[in-house]
Amino acid sequence: MKILFSILLLNLSISAFAQEKKPNIIFILTDDQRWDALGFAGNTMIRTPEMDRLAEEGTFFENAFVTTPICAASRASILTGLYERTHGYTFGQGDIKQPYVAQSYPVKLRNAGYYTGFFGKFGVNYSGFSELFDEGEDYDRNGKYNDRRGYFFKKIGKDTVHLSRYTSQQAIDFIESAPTEKPFMLSLSFSAPHAHDPAELQYFWSSEYDTMYQNLVVPDPLLMEDKYFLDQPEYVRSGENRTRWHWRYDTPEKYQQSVKGYFRMISEVDTEIGKIRKALKAKGLAENTVIILMGDNGYFLGERQLAGKWLMYDNSLRVPLIVYDPRQIGGKRNTNFALNIDVSATILDFAGAKRPKSWQGTSLRSKELAKRKDFLTEHLWQVDIIPPSEAIRTERWKYFRYINDPEHEELYDLEADPMEINNLAADPSRQKILKELREKMEQKIAGFLKEKMD
């Protein structure tokens, strides 16, 4: 009996030690931050010292992409580890379906013994949000205001503050009050740098950032000549990408104001990340807290005389992605394809929890990542102002088409033409690769549909 009792105590001690050593995890999601909108990516104009430090001390994924370039569907993919074609969620679809939520990372983390929190823009309609996390608040820009109040409507004490400031304070409060007997997983979803669409000035930041970038002259966007706009099919030229270009970039003055505003909002988020890391250090948690940072989709800053996202060009698809683990040697650059559907698997990997077999992503820590040589990306929302489209991207090639106009195809040799200028779809010498990519994309789509039916 004494031996059995001793073994039981030993097993309990080992279990407790393992639980104690599980890392805390913070996942930070920004809204509309494109891949190069941070200093570490080579942007010499923007000031993002905290994001840069995370990249320098962690792993920076140089080829990170979303599988759907719009916030609602992309966030659903992050939540569930599934492609849009599988989970079926985007704008105008009602609530995301319960079976997919039941397999989501918040559910799996709580089952694994984590204390969970979420603050910010959830971005996915789900009536059971309040039961999904141990602590949580879902909020975004306040659309009833057509001015700066859209971003300044949350209170800390008696002060009405910008959403970025409010979100970081929610994080700090969570860190300070989280139970010490279990690890925590905190999801933070900043609304910035998303423009406040109803407002004439679009971008809003806290007053202390007013002078930041005031002496900067932002260079003209690439591919700004009429030719690159006129190369687009009519439904793109008359669609929402063009409408929002008029909101933000159609005069030199608007362009300077908008890009500087976009930078200011990112710099404000950056400052708040620094405050969160100080709170971790003060609580003695910094050395055991993993931080993952990602953007929810790419963004046009006037290229091709367009704005927004939604299209299959890399402007829309490519995002920043950093994984910082203080327990590992940092300073790494990973060139493998990394996708938004990989985030949930990565979170569970850090937590030592088993990922559902239904998930379509892989952990960013896995050697399997190096085997990914291509991926599907798609925008399936059927709405008149944004043409739905689908694409396949390999290390060298990208093929895409518009779902409602499949005869319009685009093919780019990304090795020779990384800016996607020369559409080779009509080139007789490229018909073999065009056909191969079209067939490969259709095979992937058929495979996802079969999985869904099964």
Q: Would you give per-residue pLDDT tens digits along the chain (454 residues)?
A: 455 444 444 443 443 344 458 999 999 999 999 999 999 999 999 999 999 999 999 999 999 999 999 999 999 999 999 999 999 999 998 999 999 999 999 999 999 999 999 999 999 999 999 999 999 999 999 999 999 999 999 999 999 999 999 999 999 999 999 999 999 999 999 999 999 999 999 999 999 999 999 999 999 999 999 999 999 999 999 999 999 999 999 999 999 999 999 999 999 999 999 999 999 999 999 999 999 999 999 999 999 999 999 999 999 999 999 999 999 998 999 999 999 999 999 999 999 999 999 999 999 999 999 999 999 999 999 999 999 999 999 999 999 999 999 999 999 999 999 999 999 999 999 999 999 999 999 999 998 877 776 6
- pTM for the model stands at 0.94
**Is 187 within the bounds of a domain?**
yes
> Is there a single domain that holds both residue 182 and residue 286?
yes
* 148 found inside a domain: yes
Q: Are residues 366 and 431 in the same domain?
A: no
Q: Which letter does DSSP use for residue 386 in this model?
A: B
- Asked if 353 and 396 sit in the same domain, the reply is no
Residues 287 and 403 occupy one common structural domain = no
Q: DSSP readout, 37-101? A: SSGGGT-SS---HHHHHHHHHSEEEEEEE-SSSSHHHHHHHHHHT--HHHH---TTS-SPPHHHH
Examine the domain organization and report whether 453 and 359 are in the same domain: no
Please say whether the beta carbons of 38 and 46 come within 8 A.
yes
Residue 10 belongs to some domain of the structure: no
Residue 418's domain comprises 388-454
Nearest to 364 by CA among 27, 11, 21: 27
| Residues 60 and 149 reside in one and the same domain | yes
Same domain, 104 and 37: yes
The whole-angstrom separation of Cα 228 and Cα 236 is 12
In a domain, 182, yes or no: yes
Are 261 and 397 in the same domain?
no
Look up the CATH number of the domain holding residue 406.
3.30.1120.10
pLDDT in tens, 156-210: 999 999 999 999 999 999 999 999 999 999 999 999 999 999 999 999 999 999 9
One domain, residues 367 and 393 = no
| Helices 252-282/240-248 angle, 10° precision | 90
**Same-domain status, 182 and 308:** yes
Same domain? For 299 and 407 the reply is no
Alpha-helix residue ranges (DSSP H) falling in 192-303: 226-230, 234-237, 240-248, 252-282
Domain end residue (candidates: 372, 396, 417): 372
Are the C-beta atoms of 150 and 220 separated by less than 8 Å? no
**Structural contact between residues 175 and 186, judged by C-beta atoms closer than 8 angstroms:** yes
Question: Does 223 map to a domain?
Answer: yes
Q: Could you say which of 372, 397, 426 is where a domain stops?
A: 372
Instruction: Give the C-alpha distances (Å, rounded to integers) separating 373 from 109, 335, 435, 450.
Output: 29, 11, 18, 22
- Could you count the other beta carbons within 10 Å of the beta carbon of residue 43? 17
Residue 288's contacts (CB-CB under 8 Å, 6 or more residues apart) are 21, 23, 24, 326, 327
Q: What are phi and psi of 388, to 5 degrees?
A: -65, 150
- CA atoms within 13 Å, Cβ hemisphere of 415: 4
Is the same domain home to 264 and 401? no
Q: Which of 362, 224, 414, 377 is nearest to 306 (CA)?
A: 224
> Backbone phi, then psi, for 224, in 5-degree steps?
-85, -10
Burial class (CB in 10 A: 0-12, 13-18, 19+), 284: exposed
φ/ψ of 115, rounded to 5, equals -90, 125
pLDDT in tens, 51-63: 999 999 999 999 9
* Integer Cα distance of 391 and 155 in angstroms: 43
Give the closest residue to 424 by CA, choosing from 391, 388, 450, 399.
399
